[in-house]
Amino acid sequence: MVPEPASRRGGSGARTVCVAKHSQAPGSRLQWGQGSAPLCDGSRLDNALTTALIAVIAALGVCVVVLGALLLSRRSARDADERVAAAVADMNERMDAMLEDLTHALERSEEEGRRGRTLSELAGTIDFDEVLSRTLHTAAALAGVDAALVALHTLGPKPVVATIGLSEQEAEQPQVVGPPDGRPVRSVRIQYEYPDAADSADGAAVHAGLAVPLSGEEGEIGYLTVYARSRTRSFGEEDVFELEELARRAGPAIENAHRFREARQLADLDALTGLHNRRYFHETLQREVARAHRYSRRLALIVFDLDDFKAINDRIGHLAGDAVLAEASDRVRSVVRSADIACRVGGDEFAVILPESTLDDADQLYRRLLEAVSSRPIGGAGRLQISAGIGELRADEDATRFFQRGDEALYRAKEAGKGQVAAANSA
């Protein structure tokens, strides 16, 4: 056994210890005891040889390592290139994924910003139709939504239904309502299943629906519903949360706009007859004249009054005369089209604006009005007749001149006798 050098046993700063050589009997071997030191004689040479041997072995080891590295470097060059290429490809893939995530996050942020602006703008308008339109467009813009519907059940004598993305036939179907016992609900989720033939008939069937209540100051006023046509779309908790947030803002805005609309309608109506009043007539006529000129559309007008009403009023009194006017107005309202605008312009004088109509259309309406008013007696006034002036808008006139021509035609009709009509376009 080669004795371990003292420098290795003693560590840093160790010194060599010389001991006396013991006598040794022939054939005996020198034993190293625990803690014994190497012999002093010849130890330095042994140390030098040992050190040199270690150096040579280390040098050989370094050479082997270098040669091995050279050999491995050649063999691993291709592997290194492949690893670099794989690393670059992985980095590009991660960068693409990060860019895609960033793009989606930006799109979501922009969408949420638009939605937030729309929600804040809901309370900034009092136009009923505009509030409904903004609510529907915001709901339809939610992820995976193809159509939206607002159904209001308690704001008036008739339900109000507004839609976007639904056909007229789809919108006419029964709307989502709460549970049979009437208790309040947070949401209603629907999945529609069809026979194969019905589902593939046009490829546009609605497959899922989600409805949340719309509430105002006085409680629930209706439902806001969204629909999806995708077979794989279903509405989850996140969808409920987003639609609830929209409904929370839209409910009070819809209620306030409806109240304003009712107040405005009351302000536009004549208290006695229930027809539109004089102010509304002139505002509407001006608007319709401008629209007809802008889009090259036809526009007709009837101006009429009750024959000899002053004498009737003097005979039966003003209260009874007011009742006659109210009854005559009801009969007028029963024969005008929904697109026509019937107004009381003063006293016993009335007018009807006929959009998208000609002089012949106005003449036909006069015949119906005359039949409705004179077909049976009205209160103490008996049978009444009406005289009218009718006209069609000319390309070179404004609303004021159009009305004046109709009024002048009315006076010509009255001069001709009772129950007569005169065309403003004739000489």
Residues that are catalytic:
348
Residues 39 and 16: beta-carbon distance below 8 Å: no
**Structure-token pair, residue 95:** 């960068």
Phi-psi region of 318 (alpha: psi -120 to 50; beta: other; left: phi over 0): alpha
Q: Which residue has the tokens 């949360």?
A: 241
What's the CA dihedral at 157, 159, 162, 168 to 10 degrees?
A: -120
- CB distance 275 to 343 below 8 Å: yes
**What does residue 2 show for φ and ψ, rounded to 5 degrees?**
-80, 120
203: left (phi over 0), alpha (psi -120 to 50) or beta: left
Helix (H, G, I), strand (E, B) or coil at 1: coil
State the SS3 of 182-222: CCCCCCEEEECCCCHHHHCCCCCCCCEEEEEEEEECCEEEE
Exposed/middle/buried for residue 260 (C-beta within 10 Å: 0-12, 13-18, 19+): middle
Rounded to 5 degrees, φ, ψ at 163 are -135, 160
DSSP secondary structure string, 121-169? HHTT---HHHHHHHHHHHHHTSTT--EEEEEESSSSSS-EEEEES--HH
CA dist 269 → 254, 284, 393, 408 (Å): 22, 13, 25, 25
CA-closest candidate to residue 9, choices 42, 47, 45, 41: 47
Instruction: Tell me the sheet residues that pair with 160.
Output: 152
